[in-house]
Amino acid sequence: MVKKKVGVLVSGRGSNLQALLDASSDPAFPAEIVLVVSNVAGAFALERAAKAGVPTCVVSHKDYASREAFDAVMDGHLRAAGVEIVCLAGFMRLLSSSFVRGWEGRMINIHPSLLPSFKGLHTHAQAIEAGVKLHGCTVHLVTSDLDDGPILVQAAVPVLADDTPDSLAARVLEQEHKAYPQALRLLAEGKVTVEGRRALIHGPGVNIPVNPAP
């Protein structure tokens, strides 16, 4: 099996990166992480990558006068490593439209809400304040619009009466660690086609977590 080469962009602790590293350690997984790029030199995600034997590099956004210049350097590192799919895993920078266009259909992000609800930050507090009964996470293809793009995988959890943003976040995070590797698998196996705003999943063995999890 020829595995798809994946680059992961990170800014922080990298728990979703760890989920992807763990999944890709399985010989049967159709993708391998070949590079982890961080805009923060001290990000713990870099330690996770190094422990897994994955090459890393730091590209500090503070060193560049524009978003486009910063993105161009990241793009160069990704392409030099032969990356075919880009995963955003807690990458806390907005990407330029030119960078997004260059990876169109090959870049995915995980967001801690059931999109299109609760875009942006503080999604768990937003969900509690809105009084929704279900909350969760979404893996989607990246477009130039924030937290938008065709949805690949969603996983839901119930919102409990005594939930705090932290308690809800912890349950959602458990689902993120399952949903992200599954979405990467679908994309790497060529089981995704896009029609308009919809990502259509096809082929045998497709099992998408959409039901509420305890």
**For this structure, is 177 an active site residue?**
no
Q: How far apart are CA 96 and CA 23, in angstroms?
A: 29
Q: Which two tokens stand for residue 127?
A: 């969900």
CATH 3.30.450.20 is right for the domain spanning 110-214: no
Query: What does 78-132 look like in DSSP terms, one character per residue?
Result: HHHTT--EEEEES--SPPPHHHHHHTTTSEEEEESSSTTSS-SS-HHHHHHHHT-
Residue with tokens 């190094």: 50
Report the percentage of the chain scoring pLDDT > 70: 95
CATH 3.40.50.170 is right for the domain spanning 1-103: yes
Whether 107 contacts 40, CB under 8 Å? no
Catalytic residue among 61, 111, 124, 177: 111
The answer on pLDDT for 55 being more than 70 is yes
The two domains 1-103 and 110-214 share their CATH topology (first three levels equal):
yes
pLDDT in tens, 91-113: 999 999 999 999 999 999 999 99
What are the sequence ranges of the domains in the chain?
1-103, 110-214
pLDDT in tens, 151-195: 999 999 999 999 999 999 999 999 999 999 999 999 999 999 999
